A = this chain, B = another copy of it.
Amino acid sequence: MSDLLSEQKRYYAERAPEYDDWWLRRGRYTRDGEQERRWLSDVAELEERLRRFVPRGDVLELAAGTGIWTRRLVPVADQVVAVDANPETLALNTPAAELVVADVFDWQPPRRFDVVFFSFWLSHVPDERFDEFWELVRFALRPDGRVFLIDSGPPEVPSDGERQVRELADGREFTIVKRFWRPEELAARVRRLGFELDLELTGNRLFIHGGSA
């Protein structure tokens, strides 16, 4: 694994206990009421979109993290296999899923699934591993299998390159990959790899989401 990906993995291991503060906008992630309302509205939109997608059958979640979405997949799926590189984050996930500690960049699915799901993960896949990652998705899916993804929406002002420096609550800094995608750009890119995805942004453009058309 590259140094950058090792550092990214370590960042998420160390961030595990404070990860949900980001999602729940607590502590240093607290914003004002209006920003909060936009966030919660877009979160509700994601949940509704996933509900309509119906992630039924055998579901594979890649980079499952602390389980914010795993807990929403479990009640609909027959079974959820939740893969994450860090035992520190899986310790906060749910034992209602089959939890697998494995690096997504170095893992072969032992069987095939009806749905492959990943949230806030694709933006952390560096460009040079992009095609390889989608090969894994294809390999993990049954012929009629479906993909669903959620990620950060693109910033108003496009960022330069695909690296970010992130800081933990205690001030330690890590360099990670963060590559933003616009819906049409991502749809075109994966179409060349054989995936037809119906992607869009949430109303306040905070998230990109969608799945197999």
Contact = CB atoms under 8 A, between A and B. Distances in A.
Interface size class of A (residues with CB under 8 A): 20 to 34
Contacts of A37: 74-75, 96
A191 interface: no
Interface stretch (A24-32, A126-134, A177-185): A24-32
A75 B40 contact: yes
Given A30-B95, A33-B97, A40-B74, 9 more contacts: A24-B94, A32-B95, A33-B96, A36-B96, A39-B96, A40-B96, A41-B74, A43-B75, A44-B72
Interface of A: 24-26, 30-33, 36-37, 39-41, 43-44, 67, 71-72, 74-76, 92, 94-97
22 contacts: A24-B67, A24-B71, A24-B92, A24-B94, A25-B94, A30-B95, A33-B95, A33-B96, A36-B74, A36-B96, A37-B96, A39-B96, A40-B71, A40-B74, A40-B75, A40-B94, A41-B74, A41-B75, A43-B71, A43-B75, A44-B75, A44-B76
